[in-house]
């Protein structure tokens, strides 16, 4: 949802808009006393009405609390919405509360028919702190607000006759002048804040592209359809792209990938998107790899009807890679970034691969297929091996790989597996900064025996116990010694019900995380 989001330097009381959302911390109102500066200004202009209503409704600024009222012309905004954002010692958590509140404000603006929304928030005390990576906290907060607004505006209603229309066209993030002036170089500070708002909106739009791809039925997002979207993204953002079909995939000896795809009438597609910086001396590339099963029926090891209901979402990893790649030119890291996916369907048919089949992948590893529903690791095995040949400094894959990760971590947390503690630390830090929960899982060498086959190098299942770990251990056989991190996003990539700024259905999980990781890595290496 493309909202026009801008930073505006104006006083909340005198800024004209349909809805003014005032984000306040916990304790903003205690026993009728208002301590928040913005809220206080407004309360005075409204003749003490805000304070009165806050006391009546027991509003104190706790996260999730809200109150709203009409201003009857007493301030320039038609309505005021006060949103509690709670109290957070941790700046990453505080920023996520801003994201959530901004999305909440948009969700209030929608039924109210507001065309313009203004957001004010208690600019963090850390606002003047210059961070090690060159960005400052005030900019990060503006970015989070812009992200939250556009993420909250999303709805997938293209197939509905009755659409919940969004009149909202403009979001103004109100920054105060004194704050920026004090930091010296006012113009520069203003440009920084505007850039942060633009980046936040772009990241949210990319996230919504991933959501759309996940929400579209498998009849539309076919392997060819997914490759076509990657082509569109490449054209629009100036990335290079390579799209290969069955003959070329065969030439590459990707028999694990071909095995999975052979049961379907849809041809597989192997895609590589590339960003290469303009500068002459470029660092080693970074590789992003996404699982791209456009429909997972389980194949001959057929899933139950219920188990299949959501399996159009089994390409969420590739959706995140495509969306994140679309942001790379904007982030402009000093190293190349490649995005890879092998797209196909996993279907049963007379030509389908069978339990018991032995396939030899691109890197020479042979696999006994015991369960055709453990297909993601097969395709990823070949694509990871291919990506590793580009000699990346780091590989990160995103995959809706196992139902077991939902059992382990629940619906909102991605599993992180890595052979490299430094890379794992980077991914954890980026995830935290982006507000995307991840939890590191182990890769115990002693569990290798569970995926050993009596007749081949590996088998593609390791039993029910530690299912996500087995799957990750399997993938590890295809990355060589390269620093690699695997994100099992089967939980957070698609939700049964809305949670904060994440809607029901596709969430775009991984997009903000990867954008943040690339940003931090770029800042380190500049
Ligand atoms: N795509 C599924 C994993 C999945 C399950 C994603 C539920 C999202 C929600 C994957 O291909 C799969 O079927 N995995 C099997 C592996 C098993 C056969 C070893 C699973 O998790 O049951
Ligand atoms: Mn499967
Ligand atoms: Zn799958």
Q: pLDDT tens, 366-402?
A: 999 999 999 999 999 999 999 999 999 999 999 999 9
Atom of ligand 1 nearest to the CA of 376: 11
Closest ligand to C-alpha of residue 402 is 1
182-145-183 Cα angle (round to 5): 10
Question: What six digits make up the tokens of 324?
Answer: 């994140």
* pLDDT (0 to 100) of residue 164: 82
Q: Which of 346, 350, 349, 342 is nearest to 371 (CA)?
A: 346
pLDDT in tens, 251-279: 999 999 999 999 999 999 999 999 999 88
Question: What span, in angstroms and rounded, lies between the C-alpha atoms of 246 and 252?
Answer: 10
What is the torsional sign of CA 4, 326, 130, 509? positive
pLDDT of residue 125: 56
Q: What integer pLDDT is reported at residue 80 of this predicted model?
A: 98
What residues are in contact with ligand 1 under a 6 Å CB criterion? 296, 314, 371, 373-376, 400, 402-404, 461, 467, 490
At how many degrees (to 10) do helices 186-215 and 511-525 cross?
140
d(CA 244, CA 344): 12
Q: Whose C-alpha lies nearest to ligand 1, atom 22?
A: 403
Nearest to 166 by CA among 238, 119, 107: 107
- Helices 511-525 and 316-331, interaxial angle, to 10°? 40
Task: Tell me what percent of the chain is helix, strand and coil, each rounded to the nearest 5.
Answer: 40, 20, 40
> Terminal CA-to-CA distance of the chain, rounded, Å?
32
Share of the chain above pLDDT 90, in %: 91
Among 461, 473, 305, 252, which residue's Cα sits nearest to residue 375? 461
CATH code for the domain defined by 216-525: 3.40.630.10
Q: Which atom of ligand 1 is nearest to the CA of 460?
A: 19
- CA separation for the pair 370, 365 (Å, rounded): 16
pLDDT digit string, tens, across residues 191-223: 999 999 999 999 999 999 999 999 999 999 999
Q: What is the pLDDT of residues 37-72, one digit of tens each?
A: 999 999 999 999 999 999 999 999 999 999 999 999
| 105 dihedral zone (left: phi>0; alpha: psi -120 to 50; beta) | alpha
Q: What is the best residue among 214, 263, 373 to mutate for testing ligand 1's pocket, by most ligand atoms within 8 Å of CB?
A: 373
How far is residue 494's CA from residue 507's CA, in Å, rounded to a whole number?
Answer: 6
Taking CA 156 as the corner, what is the angle to CA 105 and CA 264, rounded to the nearest 5 degrees?
150
Confidence (pLDDT) at 187: 81
What are the start and end residues of each CATH 3.40.220.10 domain in the chain? 4-208
Q: Which residues contact 126 (CB under 8 A, 6 or more apart)?
A: 91, 137
Element (H, E) at 21: strand 17-25
CB 98 within 8 A of CB 23: yes
Q: Residues with catalytic annotation?
A: 303, 377
pLDDT given at position 401: 98
DSSP string of 280-302? SS----EEEEEEEEEEE--TTSP
Per residue, what are the HEC states of 409-429?
A: HCCCCEEEEECCHHHHHHHHH
Please tell me the distance between residue 103's alpha carbon and the centre of ligand 1 in angstroms: 31
Burial of 283 from C-beta contacts in 10 A (0-12 / 13-18 / 19+): middle
Tokens of 7: 């930073």
Indicate the CATH number for domain 4-208. Answer: 3.40.220.10
């Amino acid at each position: 949802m493309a909202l026009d989001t801008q930073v505006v330097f104006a006083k909340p009381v005198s800024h004209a808009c349909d809805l003014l959302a005032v984000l306040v911390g916990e304790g903003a109102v205690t026993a009728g006393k208002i301590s928040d500066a913005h809220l206080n200004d407004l309360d005075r202009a409204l003749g003490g009405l805000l304070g009165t209503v806050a006391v009546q409704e027991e509003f104190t600024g706790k996260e999730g609390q809200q109150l709203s009222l009409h201003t009857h012309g007493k301030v320039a905004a038609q309505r005021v919405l006060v949103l509690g954002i709670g109290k957070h010692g941790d700046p990453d958590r505080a920023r996520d509360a801003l994201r959530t509140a901004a999305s909440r404000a948009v969700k209030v603006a929608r039924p109210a028919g507001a065309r313009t929304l203004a957001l004010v928030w208690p600019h963090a005390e850390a606002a003047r702190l210059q961070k090690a990576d060159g960005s400052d906290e005030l900019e990060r907060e503006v970015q989070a607000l812009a992200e939250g607004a556009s993420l909250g505006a999303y709805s997938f209603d293209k197939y509905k006759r009755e659409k919940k229309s969004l009149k909202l066209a403009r979001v103004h993030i109100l920054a105060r002048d004194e704050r920026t002036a004090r930091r010296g170089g006012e113009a520069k500070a203003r440009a920084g804040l505007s850039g942060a708002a633009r980046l936040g909106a772009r990241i949210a739009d990319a996230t919504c592209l991933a959501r759309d791809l996940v929400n579209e039925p498998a009849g539309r997002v076919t392997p060819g359809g997914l490759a076509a979207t990657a082509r569109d993204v490449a054209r629009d953002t100036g990335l290079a792209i390579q799209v290969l079909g069955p003959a070329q995939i065969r030439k590459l000896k990707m028999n694990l990938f071909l095995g999975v795809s052979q049961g379907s009438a849809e041809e597989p597609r192997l895609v590589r998107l590339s960003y290469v910086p303009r500068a002459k001396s470029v660092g080693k590339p970074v590789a992003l790899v996404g699982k791209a099963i456009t429909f997972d029926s389980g194949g001959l090891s057929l899933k139950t009807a219920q188990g299949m209901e959501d399996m159009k979402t089994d390409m969420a990893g590739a959706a995140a890679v495509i969306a994140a790649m679309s942001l790379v030119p904007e982030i402009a890291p000093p190293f190349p970034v490649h995005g890879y996916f092998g797209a196909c369907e996993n279907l049963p048919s007379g030509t389908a691969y069978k339990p018991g089949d032995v396939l030899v992948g691109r890197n020479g590893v042979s696999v006994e297929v015991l369960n055709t529903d453990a297909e993601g690791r097969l395709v990823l095995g070949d694509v990871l091996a291919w990506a590793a040949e580009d000699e990346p400094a780091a590989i990160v894959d995103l995959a809706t790989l196992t139902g077991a990760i939902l059992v382990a971590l629940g619906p909102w947390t991605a599993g992180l597996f890595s052979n490299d503690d430094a890379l794992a630390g980077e991914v954890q830090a980026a995830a935290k900064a982006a507000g995307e929960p991840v939890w590191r899982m182990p890769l115990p060498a002693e569990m290798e025996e569970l995926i050993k086959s009596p007749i081949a190098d590996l088998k593609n299942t390791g039993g029910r116990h530690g299912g996500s770990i087995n799957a990750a251990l399997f993938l590890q056989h295809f990355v060589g010694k390269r620093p690699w991190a695997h994100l099992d996003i089967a939980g957070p990539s698609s939700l049964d019900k809305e949670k904060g700024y994440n809607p029901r259905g596709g969430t775009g999980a991984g997009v903000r995380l990867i954008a943040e990781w690339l940003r931090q890595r770029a800042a380190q290496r500049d």
